[in-house]
Amino acid sequence: MPVKGGFRVNEKVHKRGRVGAVKGPKKANERKYRVLFEGANDGIFLMKGGRFVDCNKKFLAILGCTKRQVIGQTPYHFSPPYQPDGRPSKEKAIEKGRAAISGKPQRFEWRHIRSDGSPFDAEINLKRVKVSDNTYLLQAILRDISEQKETEKRLRLSEEKYRSIFENAIEGMFQNTPDGRFLTVNPAIAKMHGYSSPEELMSSVAYSDEVGHVL
């Protein structure tokens, strides 16, 4: 009996040791994931059933919310009624979520609303992640692109202003390559040389140094 009992005790200890050996790496991986999750420069959140179940500190900082204010809410709760493309936020969020949970990763721009009511533009990368044999969550990485969008807007306005000056100037204006090939010409210079449009001038004269010799 002592021998048998001793064997059983050793067997139990051995089994517990193996379980502990399995749990050790698993816990280490979980800790590593949590460190990366919380230390990321982008906002990260997890969703189940279309609602937030976890998020990192960066996501909270971007929204200006506490975790209690976020968990259990939907993405469209922190969005305007409509997205810039005219789609209802709720409808579009559900559509993107369904596509991602079916195994089709989604990348798109989204207009969010901070807790103070100010809007901001974000780039979202949405995909499903497996957490157990039959369970998937949606993981999203959110990057605030407000500054990028504002820079693009200023550049577009600057280009529109330049184009207006270029097209409406009474002086002849043109742009060319270093070797003198026309890139653009304005209506004024075309008219000066007897052409009805910039396109007609450019189809007849390839190089800027030829303009003085076409008449």
pLDDT tens digit sequence for 29-56: 667 666 677 767 899 999 999 999 999 9
- Show the low-confidence residues of the chain (pLDDT under 70): 1-30, 32-35, 39, 206-215
Looking at domain 41-149, its CATH superfamily turns out to be PAS domain (3.30.450.20)
Pairing of strands 174-176, 135-144: unpaired
Residue 118 neighbours by CB under 8 Å, 6+ apart: none
DSSP state of 195: -
Instruction: Indicate yes or no: pTM above 0.85.
Output: no
Residue 1, CA distances (Å) to 8, 143, 214 in order: 10, 66, 116
* pLDDT of 8: 52
Domain parsing of the chain, residue ranges: 1-39, 41-149, 169-213
